Amino acid sequence: MYFALSRGGGSLNAPVILIHGLGSSHLVWPDVLRRMESQTVYTLDLPGHGKSGGTGLQSVSAYAKAVWKFLDAAGIYSAILIGHSLGAAIALETARHDPDRVSGLGLLSAGSLFHCSKQSLESIKNPAMLADALTWLSANLFASGAHKKLQSRVVDALQQARPAVLAADLRACSRYEFTPLPEKCSIPVLAIHGSEDRIVLRQDAQHLAHSIPGARLVNIPSAGHMVMLEAPERVGYLLTCFVRQVNAREKG
């Protein structure tokens, strides 16, 4: 699995693993997260995405197994996982399977379920209809006031993804069923949600956060599903502070 690596120092800190969402790649993350100060950051391309070989997988659990294999191959025992959308579900599943290997969870645009249109679900059965899914995504990924150039850049990147990968990711999202972390799990969790997110609704983000003991949910005004791109400074600050707190806790 391909990854971009930034060694920002802090070799004694748990590394950060960034996990992108549907149809994306490591390039979707803003520099403030990919090059986090005083942190070693691995920014992944999931199987079939970006520069990674293979094919897209069709379930959150299958993607989580790919993340576990990456951790093993990289010799990483414990890491802070930060995921966006489908990537957040993957991060949660990774932690649920082996909580001892996860020092903290940063969950962006995460909820107890994904709201997919009927057209996008039908496109799973008929690849010729994937254009309809892209049209729906284009209209729902961003808040109403998002910059048009930003929207175009993200949509162009989605259009470059292989149709089979998009179909696999849509199937993974449609099948996703949120399962809380084990009761005795004490992993620190920061969830960040855009107030205008139309793919993960506010009540579903709240349900997820309330189901995880000690989880903190932060709402970002005037941001949509691509919250880390719509409000990079705010999201970067929140996650940098969270990572520092996790590292202090681990050393404490």
The identity of residue 201, as a single letter, is L
Q: What is the pLDDT of residues 66-82, one digit of tens each?
A: 999 999 999 999 999 99
Strands 189-194 and 79-84, bridge-based pairing: unpaired
* Residue 135, token pair as written in the block: 């049209």
Query: In total, how many domains does the chain have?
Result: 1
Position 11 scores a pLDDT of 67
pLDDT tens per residue across span 163-194: 889 889 988 998 898 988 887 888 999 999 99
pLDDT number for residue 124: 61
pLDDT digits (tens, 9 = 90+) for 210-243: 999 889 999 999 999 999 999 999 999 999 999 9
What average pLDDT does range 107-113 have in this prediction?
A: 95
CATH code, domain with 243: 3.40.50.1820
What pLDDT score was predicted for residue 125?
63
pLDDT at 166: 86
Structural domain of 117? 3-251
Alpha helices in the chain (DSSP H): 31-34, 60-74, 86-97, 118-125, 130-140, 148-160, 163-175, 202-210, 227-230, 232-251
